Chain A
Amino acid sequence: MDVNVNGQRRSLGDVDPQTPLLWVLRDELGLVGAKFGCGISQCGACTVLVDGQAVKSCSYPVSAAGDAEVTTIEGLAGENGELSALQQAWVDLDVAQCGYCQAGQIMAAEALLRTNPSPGDDDIDQAMESNLCRCGTYIRIREAVKTAAAKTAAE
């Protein structure tokens, strides 16, 4: 089996097609940015994009990705390593505490901004509601999404 991740076609050998995408990314492909938090679609720590849509990779069999393009947190920075507007806002606003949820938060925000480049509070609430932050960095997450949106709009 193969899977498209961050613009590359990656071969998976004889991996069980039912394996959640999360464990394929982490164990087989060494992409550990997506995190394991609950395994049942409740926390969003494992959020990645499949064709631009946010999915909980812990509950998404790798075979379901088919020919779709999977984007993980490792695929957000530019070719020369420059941070995306979202990543930069996360650094500038010092959003993270432990940081464990933040890759999932950024990917959920990425999915939001791809469809809605200037979200209001309600849009952010809705898009980010399925991502838990145990450390309680929600205030800064909200701010960072707005900062990134404003920056992208200005460019």
Chain B
Amino acid sequence: MSALNYDDIGDVVPTVTGERTAAADASLDVRIAKIDRRQFLKLTGLVGGGLMLSFAGPKAMANGGVLQPNGYIRIDAGGILLYAKNPEIGQGVKTSLPMIVAEELDAAWDDVQVVQSPIDQAAYGAQFAGGSMSIPMNWTTLRRAGATARAMLVSAAAKRWGVEPTTLTTRDSHVVHAPSGRKLAYTELASDAAAMPVPAAGALKLKDRDQFRLLGERITGVDNDALVRGEPLFGIDQSVPGMKYAVYQKCPAIGGKVKSANVDEIKAMPGVTDAFVLEGNGNAMELLPGVAIVADSTWAALQAKRALVVDWDETDASKDSWTEAKAQAQKLAQQSGPVAADQGDVDAAFETAANRVGGFYTYHFVSHAQLEPQNCTASFKDGSLELWAPTQTPGQGIGSAAKVVGISPAKVTLHQARCGGGFGRRLYNDFTCEAAAIAKRAGVPVKLQWTREDDMAYDLYRAGGFHQMEGSVDDEGRITGWRDHFITFSNDGRRPVSGGNMARGVFPAGLLENLRIEQTPLSWKNRCAAWRAPGSNVFGFVVQSFLHELAVAAGRDHLEMLLDVFGEPRQLGPRGMHTGRAAGVVRLAAEKAGWGRELPDGRGMGLAFYFSHAGHIAEVAEVSVDADKKVRVHNVTVAADVGPIINLSGAENQMQGSVVDGLSTMGLSVTFEDGRVQQSNFDSYPMLRLPQTPGVDVHFVASDYPPTGLGEPALPPLAPAVCNAIFAASGHRIRTLPITEEGFSLS
């Protein structure tokens, strides 16, 4: 396998604790393959999240009629059904994962129907959306799954025709015997194939890359038809009989508890059926204390929430203040901090340097702001819990909800709903825990709905940070020393928050002789966690901007200097980057963008490279800066090496989206005072809109390395590419994100 940087997801790789309940599945043994797509979508929409499909398992095989050699494929006379195992959060895996199966199965894509699989660790292993891991973790398994079914279909045809399997080929959902011109559809062979022995994994012949027919094509998302019809795909669209609508108010400063609340008044309000205080379970990632309101409609619940008056006990509540943190960091930056990584002799390098450069970099906290506010539908009945949840970690969702309501995970069924964006926020299941606890206490099924204000106030933020950077070059312009005193945050006063740890080394560690990372954590109460390309999304900005600062100080062209830093093509450690692949994308991006060409005054180009989630990505931004410091990004050229592309349309969409997300985030911040988040909704968190969107040209190297994920790695190079371009255009070095802190804005 290729080098995967598992550190990128660190603590978020889920341990799956839930088990599927056979009864829940058996209750809806829907013969999907027999019904047409329109009906099918309606049906799955109605029953929730497109999940409640029977995965009948090996027994069905023995009964004949259905070829189902594994959890990914079900073929019978009615059609070919493929199961998508991981949550769909907009990264396109509900389409790309089944494409891998279909490729090796040799099924025509038009013949295939795709449904979300149940949560079943035995059948699927870990099921989650995080760390851009879906493709690399499942690539081989899915190929084998497809090849297994294909081999069984071939065996069945060989037996029926009395010919050697080696004389048969497959194409477009058919087995073909070329010598006799005979041909049979998979659907006609499924019943016979089900009785064939399942071939051993070692006996499977997987395709060579030049035999791919489907992979690398542009395939539109499998849910697109339902999406443009407004069908109920998302968590928020679910409803169950007898369901009420719930909201939950927590303390505006995290850690606060309910002293008292006007629940009796609230209960008397029109449409309100219940209101009560929940104590919380002591785990901030699960159930925080608060007041629940249950009503006949979302609107009634929201009205009641507005009328709610709570007296909070804030003894242990957050006092987090960005202003104070910044002042503290500025002071700490003057000193050295605990050494987290050290190579060579930085101090000696600095002493003998021809030229030294330094700068203080700052980036603010940001919110995930996934467009679908958190929600979860929960039904607690007879000691069992059923959840309809837009979560990135359904396995963990089952485990933590079980804990909160005090039952065994085996008694929890979780239906995967499509997620209206994830970006890391839905790796954490606080909202499913809340829904579970409220449903249990209220004694009715509820749909818990967070408002945007809830989402903004109770996010698990991308942590801010500060870097005192120092570097040196020799008289030939080569980098001789690099020091980064990183002032980060910690929720437990000891370990840095997720995405706030440089100790394990980030680029250019491993490439420079003398480098030292010092790391000082500041205590912080508000929850911080993974945000698209955790760590990389901010380190990319600092490191790639500072490299450019050194190039400028050395009087060298940035492209030439980067290539020099990469040096000879080689793999840097088992999970590290490959300098040859890095150089390849940097050259490609530069060439496609026309690096070095003459530009008018006020216009400039910037380059950046980053390696994360096993992806090598380079970006070149072309920007104008006017006298009012308004920045217009005209175009971004992206070059990516993530191995072969699965779905070209989806891959390109991820690249474009990452550029837009990266640019949007350059104008955003979440700040804290007195423990409270100062932003509340999109009016105070102004994300990028269509008119500010640059052109984005995407180029894939499509190398022969195993394919890796694309949801995250294109984001980190964006901010430094744009900031380097702003420098080229204006001579101003941006060292703070959002750029509005330095008087700049996006136009």
- Name the residue of chain A whose CB is nearest to the CB of B656: A139
Smallest CB–CB gap between A148 and chain B, Å?
11
Q: State whether the Cβ of A59 lies closer than 8 Å to any Cβ in chain B.
A: no
Q: Is the CB of B687 within 8 A of A132?
A: yes
Partner of B452, one of A19, A34, A39: A39
Interface of chain B residues 267 through 304 with chain A (CB within 8 A): 270-271, 297-300, 302
Q: State whether the Cβ of B658 lies closer than 8 Å to any Cβ in chain A.
A: yes
Q: State whether the Cβ of B245 lies closer than 8 Å to any Cβ in chain A.
A: yes
Partner of A94, one of B224, B420, B658, B689: B224
- A27 contacts which chain B residues (CB < 8 A)? 245, 297-299
Q: Given the known A-B contacts A100-B234, A134-B371, are A140 and B656 also in contact in the complex, defined by CB atoms under 8 Å? A: yes
A38 CA / B218 CA spacing, docked (Å): 33
Partner of B371, one of A32, A37, A90, A126: A37
Q: State whether the Cβ of B418 lies closer than 8 Å to any Cβ in chain A.
A: yes
Q: Is the CB of B229 within 8 A of A43?
A: no
Partner of B370, one of A96, A134, A137: A134
- Name the residue of chain A whose CB is nearest to the CB of B239: A30
Q: How many residues of B contact A (CB 8 A)?
A: 68
Q: State whether the Cβ of B657 lies closer than 8 Å to any Cβ in chain A.
A: yes
Task: Determine, out of B85-93, B165-173, B192-200, B559-567, the stretch whose residues face the partner at the interface.
Answer: B85-93
Partner of A35, one of B236, B239, B696: B236
A131 CA / B380 CA spacing, docked (Å): 37
Q: Given the known A-B contacts A39-B452, A136-B660, are A125 and B230 also in contact in the complex, defined by CB atoms under 8 Å? A: no
Q: State whether the Cβ of B237 lies closer than 8 Å to any Cβ in chain A.
A: yes
Q: Is the CB of A97 within 8 A of B237?
A: no
Smallest CB–CB gap between A11 and chain B, Å?
16
Q: State whether the Cβ of B102 lies closer than 8 Å to any Cβ in chain A.
A: no
Q: Is the CB of B92 within 8 A of A136?
A: no
Interface of chain B residues 420 through 476 with chain A (CB within 8 A): 420-423, 449, 451-452
- A140 contacts which chain B residues (CB < 8 A)? 653, 656
Q: Is the CB of A32 within 8 A of B232?
A: yes
Q: Is the CB of B223 within 8 A of A74?
A: no
A43 CA / B370 CA spacing, docked (Å): 12
- B141 contacts which chain A residues (CB < 8 A)? none
Q: Is the CB of B228 within 8 A of A106?
A: yes
Smallest CB–CB gap between B99 and chain A, Å?
13
- A57 contacts which chain B residues (CB < 8 A)? none
Give the residue among A19, A106, A142 with the most B Cβ atoms within 10 A: A19
Q: Is the CB of B227 within 8 A of A99?
A: yes
- A94 contacts which chain B residues (CB < 8 A)? 218-221, 224, 649-650, 653
A96 CA / B418 CA spacing, docked (Å): 13
Interface string of A89-121 (1 = CB under 8 A from B): 011111111111111001000000000000000
Q: State whether the Cβ of B597 lies closer than 8 Å to any Cβ in chain A.
A: no
Q: How many residues of A contact B (CB 8 A)?
A: 62
Q: Is the CB of B691 within 8 A of A136?
A: no
Q: State whether the Cβ of B233 lies closer than 8 Å to any Cβ in chain A.
A: yes
- B649 contacts which chain A residues (CB < 8 A)? 94
Would you call the interface of chain B mostly helix, strand, loop, or mixed? loop
Q: Is the CB of A90 within 8 A of B228?
A: yes
Q: State whether the Cβ of A68 lies closer than 8 Å to any Cβ in chain B.
A: no
Q: Is the CB of B693 within 8 A of A138?
A: yes
- B299 contacts which chain A residues (CB < 8 A)? 16, 19-20, 23, 27
Q: Given the known A-B contacts A33-B231, A74-B229, A136-B661, are A98 and B236 also in contact in the complex, defined by CB atoms under 8 Å? A: no
- B219 contacts which chain A residues (CB < 8 A)? 94
- A128 contacts which chain B residues (CB < 8 A)? 690
Q: Given the known A-B contacts A32-B236, A129-B691, are A100 and B653 also in contact in the complex, defined by CB atoms under 8 Å? A: no
Q: Given the known A-B contacts A129-B691, A134-B421, are A97 and B657 also in contact in the complex, defined by CB atoms under 8 Å? A: yes
A126 CA / B689 CA spacing, docked (Å): 10
Smallest CB–CB gap between B105 and chain A, Å?
22
Q: Given the known A-B contacts A19-B299, A35-B420, A139-B693, are A98 and B230 also in contact in the complex, defined by CB atoms under 8 Å? A: no
Interface string of B411-422 (1 = CB under 8 A from A): 000000011111
- B229 contacts which chain A residues (CB < 8 A)? 33, 73-74, 76-77, 83, 87
A34 CA / B690 CA spacing, docked (Å): 20
Q: State whether the Cβ of B64 lies closer than 8 Å to any Cβ in chain A.
A: no
Q: Is the CB of A37 within 8 A of B452?
A: yes
A138 CA / B690 CA spacing, docked (Å): 5
Q: Is the CB of A139 within 8 A of B696?
A: yes
- B690 contacts which chain A residues (CB < 8 A)? 124-125, 128-129, 131, 133, 138, 141-142
Q: Given the known A-B contacts A33-B230, A72-B230, A129-B690, are A136 and B371 also in contact in the complex, defined by CB atoms under 8 Å? A: no
Binding site for A on B (CB under 8 A): 38, 88-92, 218-221, 223-225, 227-234, 236-237, 239, 245, 270-271, 297-300, 302, 369-373, 418-423, 449, 451-452, 649-650, 653-654, 656-661, 664, 681-683, 687-691, 693, 695-696
Binding site for B on A (CB under 8 A): 16, 19-20, 23, 26-28, 30-40, 42-43, 45, 72-74, 76-77, 81, 83, 87, 90-103, 106, 124-126, 128-142
Interface CB pairs A-B, < 8 A, 14: A27-B297, A30-B239, A32-B230, A39-B452, A73-B230, A87-B228, A95-B224, A96-B221, A97-B92, A97-B421, A98-B419, A129-B691, A138-B693, A139-B695
Q: A94-B649, A130-B689 are in contact. List 18 more A-B contacts (CB 8 A).
A: A16-B270, A27-B297, A36-B373, A36-B449, A37-B682, A73-B229, A83-B225, A90-B224, A94-B219, A98-B419, A98-B422, A100-B372, A102-B228, A131-B690, A134-B661, A136-B659, A136-B660, A136-B664
